[in-house]
Structure 1
């Protein structure tokens, strides 16, 4: 039953070694590997795969997608915790940026999960298509811009190296932060995870995660839409907003700084409210559509001047918290079959590790980080194609026929 009192018929095909499961696993592996590179999570691939190939209904596919995103995010974060920032002497993950956006992201996820229960499948699909088209276009244009900057820097560096070599002077790389951020690949040298974590910021993120999780579990044990239910629900606002406001005040006062930004700190002040707003928006869309939130955070971080590697790592780090909360909420609502969820989560976990290894090799080989942005754009756009072409299958009338067909096959 949904929050408005209506019922929703799940379509959960049996877990077996049939062609649907095999093909779905292959596509899911591909999506998780690319998603881990672009910091997207892979939801743009997972939702169409689970609906059109495996055979889940859209709402169950949304919940299953969150399970896969969580598995991929955990393994990706583990890999990124060992890496240093491509420019500065700091971790690859920007903890100050994560602390600003992650609490709002998690608050938005709770809203999105409620909307997912209430909204019909066709509306969820339309929102997914519109969002994907807009953000993929934005990311692609940013990728082209970054590629041109990299090409210019590489040409200038080659010319300087050639000139200085002819004079017998050893060439030194450009010292500008923008140049280094664009061209220098992350170090493959292993770094201790314990030394690469900012424990104060990480502790605050864990606090927000645990507080919202506690409130969500408490909501499950009271009557839906009762006074106590809404009290627990609304308490998530001061918990999430309080931590983000604390971080924003520190940034404005200069006590804290988003070090990985290419722009000056002063220009950040006008962006703080916008970042928090998009954090909530990413969470709502993540909980509603089954995406990781990277569809919003990835392009946003790039617009702020964050290097592509750091943008991907930080977005995935924030998604690990928000997606795991969504999985627990969906589990409490009985929105996905556990055997299927465990299987596809393991597939995504392994695929993300493979994706990270391949990405690091490509960055070192190409000397460019902009390909991460193109992967992000491609992942967002490719998810639109199957859902757009099959939209006629997802209107209320044909969805009823689709459900009846699966029920007859399973009986």
Structure 2
């Protein structure tokens, strides 16, 4: 009988220890209070404005939040990163709530969020972020700063170039519509009779084939799959521990168990991606596509999104920012419309940022109340920014405003984060610290 009771006692003891561990972390977080100063208030206003600009482009804004909180408010990098995770989550919640119900006349009044792109991208993006975080701990700061400056400068240039192209295309379309309107008036006034036949606009085939899954009704199945993916990766993160090696179970930092848990993410991402591809392949709507060329194009296009998401997530983990800022220019480059890109990126950012916020919350962080206040500010700022941009798009027909918003945020992030990183590199060099490659943990 005693032998049979040991596993039960051990389970109860373990659960009590885990419960006590979580209580201690929350107690430590509540014991620290953030002093409200003029610098904190100014940083709050700047973050509010940054959230309103970032939400228009569907990117999180962490590239602006972290420098503002570090330089203006004087937060250390760890506190600024934890605040940024909550702020990006607050802004993305506002964007997702709006984009779930906003429809576009240009896209047959379909919901702007493309859940297929989000499903194909999310597993590989989460895997890329995890690998990027490991590389961040191994790469020297000067190398990360140079890579960040070069990549974001290139992305900013390509994004602004895309914005100019969209702007010119919209201007030509506006002139063409005015000409057709004038021509129709002449036909009606002249009583020439006959029906006016509208010209073929040369509608481009979407990259993911026919967009069947973006009706106004909510896709519960796809959302449920995303939630399963989120919980799967989140559970591995909790068991493995965060960058400070805090875990809910006793595990040796950088030990065998740590790397085994980390390696589980690779087959997990592959299994989820294959599962999603098979579900998409067996979708009855997809079987309506005819022709070997269309099917081959669909297969090649599907694999492009996981690759882009993995690259964006890995670079985001290396640079210490969200993947939304990096995948948004990539989606624009492959021909996804600006409105769909912004809505889809904000939806993907919600899952990645909320995972980071929950990790900070459960594994112990200070100033939770202040972080929630900053998150509410970003929520309100994002709502205002989204309403202003969508009103401008409806009035002027300029979806390119979204592209320019992304380019503006990326340009500011390039300058701020590069300058911030260069200052840190110089301080390390002046202090005589080691400037080479390190162990990942």
TM-score (norm 2): 0.75
Match of 1:213 among 221, 234, 253: 234
Residues 353-398 of structure 1: per-residue CA shift (max 9 Å, x gap):
1111111111112111011101101110011223344554212636
Contact 2:67 2:420 in 1 (8 A): no
Q: Which runs of 5+ in 1 are unaligned?
A: 1-12, 182-192, 258-263, 402-411
Q: Distance in 2 between matches of 1:289 and 1:59?
A: 14
Root mean square deviation of aligned Cα: 3.2
- Residues 290 and 342 of structure 1: is their aligned pair in 2 closer, same or farther, counting only changes over 3 Å? farther
For residue 240 of structure 1, what is the aligned residue in structure 2? 269
Q: Distance in 2 between matches of 1:173 and 1:226?
A: 67
Q: Which runs of 5+ in 2 are unaligned?
A: 1-31, 207-213, 241-246, 287-293, 432-441
Match of 1:345 among 354, 357, 375: 375
Match of 1:279 among 302, 309, 313: 309
Match of 2:256 among 227, 245, 265: 227
1:162 aligns with 2:182: yes
Show the 5 A alignment for 1:43-192: 43-85=62-104, 86-117=106-137, 122-168=142-188, 176=201, 178=203
- Report the Cα offset of residue 147 of structure 1: 1.0
Q: Distance in 2 between matches of 1:381 and 1:371?
A: 15
Q: Distance in 2 between matches of 1:120 and 1:256?
A: 49
For residue 322 of structure 1, what is the aligned residue in structure 2? 352
Q: Distance in 2 between matches of 1:107 and 1:46?
A: 24
Q: Distance in 1 between matches of 2:138 and 2:371?
A: 22
Contact 1:62 1:289 in 2 (8 A): no
Q: Distance in 2 between matches of 1:143 and 1:300?
A: 13
Contact 1:298 1:315 in 2 (8 A): yes
- Report the Cα offset of residue 311 of structure 1: 0.6
Task: State which structure, 1 or 2, has the greater radius of gyration over its C-alpha atoms.
Answer: 2
Contact 1:37 1:356 in 2 (8 A): yes
- Report the Cα offset of residue 336 of structure 1: 6.0
- Report the Cα offset of residue 165 of structure 1: 1.0
1:397 aligns with 2:427: yes
For residue 31 of structure 1, what is the aligned residue in structure 2? 50
For residue 329 of structure 2, what is the aligned residue in structure 1? 299
Contact 2:124 2:309 in 1 (8 A): yes
For residue 23 of structure 2, what is the aligned residue in structure 1? none
TM-score (norm 1): 0.80
Residues 316-369 of structure 1: per-residue CA shift (max 9 Å, x gap):
101111111122334455566434422221211111111111111111121110
Q: Distance in 2 between matches of 1:42 and 1:279?
A: 18
Aligned to 2:322, the other structure's residue is in SS state coil
Q: Distance in 1 between matches of 2:338 and 2:154?
A: 19
Q: Distance in 1 between matches of 2:355 and 2:280?
A: 27
Alignment size in residue pairs: 373
Contact 1:113 1:326 in 2 (8 A): no
Match of 2:402 among 339, 360, 372: 372
Residues 252-305 of structure 1: per-residue CA shift (max 9 Å, x gap):
677666xxxxxx775443344332122112222333434331222211221222
Contact 1:392 1:398 in 2 (8 A): no
Q: Distance in 1 between matches of 2:366 and 2:284?
A: 44
1:359 aligns with 2:359: no
- Report the Cα offset of residue 172 of structure 1: 8.6
- Report the Cα offset of residue 67 of structure 1: 2.0
Contact 2:316 2:326 in 1 (8 A): no
Q: Distance in 2 between matches of 1:153 and 1:358?
A: 23
- Report the Cα offset of residue 121 of structure 1: 5.0
Q: Which has the larger displacement, 384-393 or 201-210? A: 384-393
Contact 1:69 1:348 in 2 (8 A): yes
